[in-house]
Chains A and B, each alone.
Chain A
Amino acid sequence: MASFNFLILLLIFSFCRSGNLQRLHEKIYSSIEGGAACFRRLNGTHQTGCSSADNGAVGVVHMIKDVTDAHWLMENATAGPYMAVVSTGLFYDVFDLLFKQPDLIAGILLYDNATKSAPQFSQDMSCPNDYSAAEGSSCSAGGVVWNPKGTGLLRRDIPFPIFYLPESRSQEIDKIDECYQRYNSDKNNQKGRPLCSVQLHSFMFAAVNTEVCLRRSASSALLTPTKVCDPLGDYNVYYSLFPRTKDIKNKKVTLVTARIDTASLFDGVSPGAASSVVGMVTLLTAATTLSKMIPIQDANLYDENILWTLFNGEAFDYIGSQRVAYDISKGTWPAAAPLTVDDINLHVEIGQIGGALTKLDLAWPLYAFIPYTNVVPEINEFVNTLGSNLQHNISINTEFSSHFPPSSLHSFRRILKNETESAALPEVLITDHNAEFSNFFYNSALDGFDKIDFEYRNITVDSSGTFISTDALLANGTMKEVDTQVKIARLATAVARTMYQRVAGKPYSGNITASAHLVDEILYCFLRSQACRLIMAADYASSGGAEEKPPERAAPLYVGVATWASTPPVFAAHLLALLTGTALSANRTQCDALDVPGFSQYWLRGWNHSGVCMQTTMNISAAISPAFIIEDYDLKSGVYSTWTESVWQAMWARVFVRASGAGAGAAAAAGAGATLLAALLTYWLQRHAAIIFSNAPQHSIVNDDAASGILRTVNC
């Protein structure tokens, strides 16, 4: 007997050794790394986006390699629910089918495949932000459908989780495909067999709508004070050519705006190259160029000022511009020297202008949307000036229409209705499309740097921060006229010159132009890597002197939640401070102590990373929807943006081989059988104890002897 026990012990030990000390969990599951999950957002009336069940969604892997695979899944599959693994290139052909019967689908794993890249991909609405459109400019009510490629999934309550794997994670897809080929390839005999499966976990805390989730976040339940959602929001960035204080309020301004943010269905993947970055970079470059054309010391010579403003959160019912328009209507923006509507001579929005950028075409046709039926002299003059300043195959055409594309103009037209519609506050929008978007990747995960044909040139910047002029770059062959950087620099030059003419009242005669080198660097910072020259120079100098290198990937341009400041507006603000500000010869303590009206001072790292005191008129303001600051605002009224984002705890995905179920069934049956048998046996033994135990007491005799006598004395 002892030798037998010893043998078992030896056997257990040998198993442990061969197991390589790996945990059982790791043997069963293989984690899928680098995926981005679709998450839940809520507005005043609905919930949108995805959520898995609390313990994740499990489905049998089905690689959809063409449309027939999707049809098989919906019509002939037997071992469901299934996890559909689809490439972005095939998504448009199959998503309608997959959404038709959500019971059959446990989730979707979407992957980007360079060899079969998608010709179009936009999850925003075909009429983006239509509920916040200006009166008479609703695209769904008979206007131009701006984004015909839009599937609208961004605004839909999706009944299962969706994960996205970028091209860089193709090895994960290979892993899943290998597992699929091995276990699931016999498609007609899947039932009752072990099958390759995927589990997606993206459980969302919030539900129903913003009103419900904010209420649940606020109520301090005794046991679980859980926050379930946060309002979307971040910061707007603004910078004026000349300082604005309360005393010199007579200076009228031209408001030039663009948007910072974009969106996508997936967490942390919102590159926004054509959707927003080109417009933002044009504005930053034009502002930089104008600040070189007109030195800030000459502020007293001019009557007009330029206010460059970057709005954030525009993808979600114009959060940033709604807030600015609302604050202007209340006379509280900008905080230091509030504008009145009369102070704004003209509002120019640089809208979505990246969609038509390609290195195959020299031409870059732009359109000025003028939402007035009668002639507005202020706008005419602006468009003519801009047109005369544009050269080199960039053209501008005018579109007179009360239907104009998604832009901050919609916010101004809703909130400052009287002034904007009567052209007391004239507005014009510049885009690169006159009808539907030329960008087929509007607000999507695939709107990357390649969509605007951006190739980084990586030209060094000297320690004084001088950029090589566009003409010099063209002359030495570093860049060509078709390059994105050159085109943006040309446009920025034209915008800067037009603004110069508005300020100075005469055409610009100098030779300062926007540098394609600068454009190259800014684009690289926003589209490729945060560890770029500009951001390294424009960052706060750390007190310890140690340089923290930012990550070598682009920051997502999604607006995010208001409780966390995201990096893009901070970058934009710092770039404006570095590029347009005045370097003071002050040390850090002096810099921090300075208090000049109309200015603020930032101690930045500088081009030689030794620290520099930049004096700038740049500032930031909250981009949080008025809905969240107005007391007792009716969230269902639809007047202002009410978007919130759900809280979640973890997002993960893993692949494993699921047992056929036969084993589990047998185990359950055996367990039930054993229990029943034991019960019967016990019952029989009790009844017939006398047969087995020769001196056992009879069943009927009550045990009533000395022991109970003792108990009786214990008084219970």
Chain B
Amino acid sequence: MDLARLPNDKKLQLCRWYFKVGCLLLPFVWAVNAIWFFKEAFMKPPYDEQKQIKKYVLMSAVGAIAWIAVFAIWITVFQLQRVSWGATGDALSFIVPLGRA
């Protein structure tokens, strides 16, 4: 979908919709929303709905970054500590590595 061809009210509707869907533990939707509407929110000449779009884009971006941070920390901790967690580490593993700890 080409945003350039969408009327402004539809843009706002779409951006809000993406933000709401992202609230259902779907950070990737937030990330898409933030990137997709970034130009609309910050680089286009001002229009009525831009302020609201800006709000949703910012919230989506912050949310997505928070999620990424949480994931990054968990993945780092898991990869570093899986072996020392023993049985818990194995239970949390989807694919247990063969031939090593």
Hey, what's the 0/1 contact readout for A214-229 against B, CB within 8 Å counting as 1? 0110010111101010
Which B residues are in CB contact (< 8 Å) with A51?
99
**Are the C-beta atoms of A221 and B99 separated by less than 8 Å?**
no
Prevailing SS type, chain A contact patch = loop
Q: A219 near B96 (CB under 8 angstroms)?
A: yes
Q: Does B5 contact A (CB under 8 A)?
A: yes
Tell whether A215 pairs with B99 under 8 Å between CB atoms, given A716-B1, A716-B2: no
Query: Within 8 Å CB of A206, what residues of B?
Result: 99
Residues from chain B with Cβ under 8 Å of A203 in the complex: 98-99
The B-contacting residues of A in range 660-716, CB under 8 angstroms, are: 708, 711-712, 716
Which residues of chain A from 60 to 118 have a CB within 8 Å of any chain B CB?
none
Q: Mark A161-184, 1 if CB is under 8 A from B, else 0.
A: 000000000000000000000000
Instruction: Collect the chain B residues with CB atoms within 8 Å of residue A223's CB.
Output: 94-95
How far apart sit A221 and B98, CA to CA, in the bound complex (Å)?
13
Chain B residues near A228 (CB, 8 Å)?
Answer: 98
How many angstroms from the CA of A711 to the CA of B6 in the assembled complex?
12
B91 lies within 8 A of chain A by Cβ: yes
Within 8 A of B (CB), among A263-309: none
A216 touching B90, Cβ below 8 Å: yes
Assembly CA distance A144 to B5 (angstroms): 92
B101 at the interface (CB under 8 A from A): yes
Question: Which residues, 1 to 29 on B, are CB-close (under 8 Å) to A?
Answer: 1-2, 5
**A207 to B90 Cα, complex, angstroms:** 13
- Bound: A228/B90 CA distance, A: 13
Check A221–B1 contact: CB distance below 8 A. Answer: no
B96 touches A208 (CB 8 A): no
**A576 contacts chain B at the CB level, 8 A cutoff:** no
Q: Is the CB–CB distance between A207 and B94 below 8 Å?
A: no
Q: Which residues of B contact A204 (CB under 8 A)?
A: 99
Interface of B is mostly: loop
- Decide if B76 is an interface residue (CB 8 Å cutoff): no
Q: Is B93 interfacial (CB-CB < 8 Å)?
A: yes
Given A215-B87, A711-B5, A716-B1, verify A226-B98 contact (CB < 8 Å). yes
A712-B5 in contact (CB<8A): yes
State whether B95 touches A224 (Cβ < 8 A): yes
Contacts of B90 in A (CB 8 A): 212, 215-216, 219
B100 at the interface (CB under 8 A from A): yes
Contacts of A216 in B (CB 8 A): 90, 96
Q: Say yes or no: B98 contacts A208, CB within 8 Å.
A: no
- A711 and B96 alpha carbons, distance in the complex (Å): 50
- Closest chain B CB from A650 CB (angstroms): 13
A631 touches B (CB below 8 Å): no
CA distance A212 to B86 in the complex (A): 8
Number of contacting residues on B, CB 8 A? 15
Most central of B2, B5, B86, B96 by chain A CB within 10 Å? B96
Bound Cα distance from A203 to B98, whole angstroms: 9
Least Cβ distance of A230 to chain B in Å?
Answer: 15
B82-94 Cβ-contact flags toward A at 8 Å (1 or 0)? 0000110011011
Contacting residues, chain B, for A711 (C-beta < 8 A):
2, 5
Q: How long is the Cα–Cα vector from A24 to B101 in the complex, in angstroms?
A: 37
Q: Mark B57-101, 1 if CB is under 8 A from A, else 0.
A: 000000000000000000000000000001100110111101111
Contacts of B94 in A (CB 8 A): 221-223
What is the bound-complex CA distance between A39 and B90, given in angstroms? 24
Q: Counting CB contacts under 8 A, is A247 at the interface?
A: no
Does residue A54 face the partner (Cβ distance < 8 Å to B)?
Answer: yes
User: Once the chains are docked, how many angstroms separate the CA of A219 from the CA of B87?
Assistant: 10
Q: Which residue of the partner chain A has the closest CB to B101?
A: A208
Q: Is the C-beta of A599 less than 8 angstroms from some C-beta in chain B? A: no
By the criterion CB–CB under 8 Å, are A54 and B96 in contact?
Answer: no
> Which A residue sits closest to B93, measured CB to CB?
A221
Q: Say yes or no: is A333 at the interface (Cβ < 8 Å to chain B).
A: no
Among B90, B94, B99, which residue has the most Cβ atoms of chain A within 10 A? B99
Q: CB-nearest residue of chain B relative to A222?
A: B94
Which one, B86, B87, B95, contacts A221 given CB within 8 A? B95
The verdict on A205 contacting chain B, using a C-beta distance below 8 Å, is yes
B6 to A, closest residue via Cβ: A716
Inter-chain CA distance A221–B97, complex, in Å, is 11
In whole angstroms, what is the CA distance A184 to B97 when docked?
37
- B96 touches which of A224, A708, A712, A716 (Cβ 8 Å): A224
How close is A707's CB to chain B, nearest CB, in angstroms? 12
A-side residues, CB < 8 A to B, are: 51, 54, 203-208, 212, 215-216, 219, 221-224, 226, 228, 708, 711-712, 716
Kindly list 5 other residue pairs between chains A and B, CB separation below 8 angstroms, not including A207-B100, A216-B90, A711-B5: A203-B98, A203-B99, A204-B99, A207-B99, A224-B96
22 pairs across A/B with beta carbons < 8 Å? A54-B99, A203-B99, A204-B99, A205-B98, A206-B99, A207-B99, A207-B101, A215-B87, A216-B90, A219-B90, A219-B96, A221-B93, A222-B94, A223-B94, A223-B95, A224-B96, A226-B98, A228-B98, A708-B5, A711-B5, A712-B5, A716-B2
**Shortest 5 CB-CB distances between A and B: which pairs?**
A205-B98, A716-B1, A207-B100, A208-B101, A216-B96
